[in-house]
Every structure is written in structure tokens, then in C-alpha cells.
Amino acid sequence: MTEISQASKIYIGGAQATKVYVGATQVWPQFRPTHLSGCRVWLDASKLGLANGAAVSSWPNLGAGSQPTVLGSPAPTFRTGTLNSLPVVRITQGAGRYRFTGTGVNKDWTLIYVGRKWKVMAGRVVAAHISQANLLVGFHHTEWDQCYVEGWLSPVPETPTGSTSWKLYSADSTVSDPARFYSNGTLLYSGAATPSLGWGGTLCLSGFDDATQESDCEIAELVMYNRRLSAPERQQVEGYLRTKWNAPTTMFKPTDLGANCVAWFDGGDRRSITLAGSGVSAWTNKGVGAMTLAQATDAYRPTYPSNAVIFAMGQGLTPANAPATYDLIVAATPNGTADWRTLMRSANGHEMIIESGSTRFGVYSAGFQPAGALTWGTVEGIGFTRVAASAVTMMSRDGGAMTSTTVALAAASAATTMFGAYMPGSTPSQAFGSIKEVIIVPYNSESLRPQLEGYLAHRHGLTDLLPAGHPYKTTSP
């Protein structure tokens, strides 16, 4: 049977269709960036059809804008079978590089591309001409995950963090909205103010004027629009590139957050679990912080049957070096209502707890403080809590809205001393349940919350729980 993507014609009854959609997504003819309005630049190395090592002295723009020119020599070269068995275009520092003028893209724009540095050294891969604006997306000198649009969207680079790995980068802005920067579809940073300058019809591949800050880089495909795409449109282009090129877009993982990944306890990684005696004696933190989880008393150790640490009555782990102020998200299945279910407990109270005798979700500080009407029964799901001294804890369930617990925590800043249960110095109680994964990031990291929810939902098969309109309901980070 012919697959729809391979069909040359499709009929509905006796009428020939011109397009086929599943919901709002066009599935036939096979998606091309030009299916979306405003596509001014589209460079696709897989359309060139050259011999390996051939000079790419002309790279046709498949969008509606102007054609690029090559400055310098020798021209960039064609490399076959480089990425997912497809060809790419290699640009060498000090040699030929591509320059656009008259693209028709200025202050309203979306840029999405798959590229890399094949040698980590100073230079820019994608930028505007400096005569128009200081604007770069993706790579800067020896760093990556950087974006500058009249100011750093990402932290000012201080140390080399570069790599020769392929990346899928996206960025956008408008005349009335600050710029945004994405890596593999995940929002990393937003600008603080609306830019006053735009691309001015220019685009530079390798460097930012005629011959400054060039780089050793490769481009697989690049698309540029003269408007900010909607979230579903941007995700459609990213999904098209992700499927086509494969290698640059491995699924988001918490360590992609760098220093923002304060702690990551991953039940799916058997190597991070230390088993001794009757259960888990330690659970290794895969993040950058110093937090540890361990249990020295054999009788109190939780079990690890497969891909989850399970806390039953009388079992818990003891944290050390835990943060006192944080955002935490967990993928878990709580125990039943016979007892309280505590995930995190400090001297200030229980920062994530489910009420005894019910499924109400909240904190315990001078009494149980529910997070609105949020509940969590004996079902697998995603819980989120935002904790700081003297602040009202905010919580959410399964990617939903942040909900207040209404009462502020104590003024003292106290780090967590109990994990997965309440352990007052005697036999643990209030066992939480089966925990697959816990991630801790800095306090009030609201821009990170959706991608963490999307990551956990897609990894653990919980996407049906995410609300309609969630940015990662259908597409993983």
C-alpha cells in the first residue's frame, strides 16, 4: 500500500485534493518551509546534488528573497553523507563565505537552522551584517547556545563552552516584542527589551561583515521568515528539520541546562542507583549541584525494581547539600491515602506533600496548605513546586497553571533534610510512592518549567496529561 507521503495524487471521491491536513498540520504534499507564508530564505544542502568536495560557488535560495553571493575564495565545499546520510556545506575560516542583501527580512523575523562549528575557534556562524545590527544566533567565538540582539539574550560568555556537535537553533523577534532564542525547540532565553534594529535585509554565514569573525562551520539547512511564526508553525519547521537531519536534535535532557540543572535524579539510569543490602543506599545526582541522596540504615532503604525508586512505608532517603530555595519537578506515582505522602521536608515544613486521607496536593507549614483544588491520586503524573523562605509556595500538576498555597513559608531558609518520606529520627513514615525522576532548577525559573514538563511527559508517556495549548503537547523539547 502506498503511504500518503509517497502519493503523487490524492482523491476524495472523484475530486483531486491539493493538500491534506491532520488537524492544522499539512501532511501532504510533504511539508516544505515555503508552505508557511513569509519564507524569504531557504538554503538546503540536500537539494544541491553536487559531488563530494565540489565547490559551492552558488547556493540557490529556495525562498522568495534575494540570492546569496560568495565573498572570498576558495568557495565553500560540498560534503556528502555527513549528517543522517545527507550532505552539508562546509565553510572554512578565511575562505569563501555567504552574504545576503535584500532578503526582505528586517525587524519582524524568525530564523531556524541546523549547523555546527567543525573546529572550535573564534567566530560567528549566523549573523546580521554589522552595518545593520549586532545580531547573532547560536554560536559566538568559542561558545555555543548564545544569542545577541542588541544585548545578550543568554548570559554574557565568560569561558569557552564550545563543541563540534550539530545544533538546531531558532530565534525570533518583532517590532513590539523582545527577541527569543531556542535550542532544539526549547526556549533558552528572552530579551529584556524590544530591539530597535533588525536584519536590514542582510544575512551573513560565517562572520558579521565582509571579513570579520569568520568561523569554520557547516550548514545543513537554514530557513528565515519575515514574520514571527506562531508556536505551532515554528514547531512544525523544527519538527521537519528534526526528522530530516536526525543527529543534531537528540531529545532534550536536563544537563542541557548547564548550571541551571541544580540536581537531577534519574530512575531510568541504572548507573545512578547504588544498591546495597535490601535496597537503594545512594541515588547519584546527575546535575551540577552538590546535593546527594543516601540511606545508611539498611532497613530504611527504598527499593529499585525497575526504572523507579519506590518508597514504601518505613523507607526514605537523606539529602545532603540540598538547596533551600528552588523549583522542583517530579514524575511519580504516589502511594494511597492511608498516610501523608511527603516528597521534600525541611525544618520549615513539608515543601511537597499529599494530605492523609485525601488526594489534596500542597505543603505543610503551620498546618496543611493545599494548592487550590489540585489533587494527586494513585496515578502516574507530574508535580511541580516552587519554594523559597518567606514566600508563598506555588505548585502545579501535569503542566497546568501555577496555583498558590496562600500561606508563606517560614522566614528561615532551610534546606531539605528528608526525601521521599518523613524521617524525624525514628522509623520513616509518610512514604511518597514510586519516583521515576526528580529535577531541581533555580528558584522562579518559569521559562524552564514548560520544557521540563514536556521532557518528563514525552519521556514517560504522559503527554495526554498536558493541557491543550501546552507548547510541548505534541512535540518534545
Which grid cell sits at 196?
A: 530597535
- The SS3 of residue 41 is strand
Mean pLDDT of the chain, nearest integer: 90
- Asked if domains 33-249 and 257-465 share a fold, the reply is yes
Q: How far apart are CA 410 and CA 388, in angstroms?
A: 9
- CB atoms inside a 10 Å sphere around CB 377: 13
Specify the pLDDT at position 173. Answer: 97
Decide if 341 contacts 353 (C-beta within 8 A): yes
**Domain-wise residue ranges, the chain:** 1-30, 33-249, 257-465
Q: What residue type is 241 in one-letter code? A: L
Q: What residue type is 352 in one-letter code? A: M
- Could you give the dihedral angle defined by the CA atoms of residues 53, 58, 59 and 60, in that order, rounded to the nearest 10 degrees? -140
Q: Is the dihedral of CA 210, 215, 219, 225 positive or negative?
A: negative
Position 127 confidence tier, pLDDT thresholds 50, 70, 90: very high
Inform me whether the pLDDT recorded for 5 exceeds 70. Answer: no
Residue with cell 546569496: 68
Inform me whether the pLDDT recorded for 1 exceeds 50. Answer: no
Q: How far apart are CA 214 and CA 430, in angstroms?
A: 59
pLDDT digits (tens, 9 = 90+) for 151-184: 999 777 655 456 677 899 999 999 999 999 998 8
Q: How far apart are CA 144 and CA 253, in angstroms?
A: 17
Which grid cell sits at 334?
A: 504516589
pLDDT digits (tens, 9 = 90+) for 185-201: 888 889 989 999 999 99
Beta bridge partners of 225: 39, 110
DSSP 100-112: E---S-SSSEEEE
Specify the pLDDT at position 247. Answer: 52
Specify the pLDDT at position 249. Answer: 47
- CATH for 257-465, among 3.90.79.10, 2.60.120.200, 3.40.50.460, 1.50.10.10? 2.60.120.200
Residues 6+ apart with CB under 8 A from 244: 46, 84, 86, 221
Which helix (DSSP H) or strand (DSSP E) does residue 237 occupy?
helix 231-245
Q: Identify the burial level of 249 via C-beta atoms within 10 angstroms of its C-beta, where 0-12 means exposed, 13-18 middle and 19 or more buried.
A: buried
Specify the pLDDT at position 142. Answer: 76
Decide if 398 contacts 374 (C-beta within 8 A): no
Q: Report the candidate in 363, 312, 320 with the shortest Cα–Cα distance to residue 338.
A: 312
Task: Answer whether CATH 3.20.20.120 is correct for domain 33-249.
Answer: no
Specify the pLDDT at position 7. Answer: 62
Q: How far apart are CA 369 and CA 134, in angstroms?
A: 49
Mean pLDDT calculated for residue range 138-153: 88
Decide if 216 contacts 92 (C-beta within 8 A): yes
Q: Identify the burial level of 412 via C-beta atoms within 10 angstroms of its C-beta, where 0-12 means exposed, 13-18 middle and 19 or more buried.
A: exposed
Decide if 36 contacts 225 (C-beta within 8 A): yes
Decide if 200 contacts 106 (C-beta within 8 A): yes
Specify the pLDDT at position 178. Answer: 94
DSSP 8-state secondary structure symbol assigned to residue 340: -
Decide if 141 contacts 148 (C-beta within 8 A): no
pLDDT digits (tens, 9 = 90+) for 42-66: 999 999 999 999 999 999 999 999 9
pTM attached to this predicted model: 0.54
Mean pLDDT calculated for residue range 296-319: 94
Decide if 309 contacts 343 (C-beta within 8 A): no
38 dihedral zone (left: phi>0; alpha: psi -120 to 50; beta):
left
pLDDT digits (tens, 9 = 90+) for 418-445: 999 999 877 999 999 999 999 999 999 9
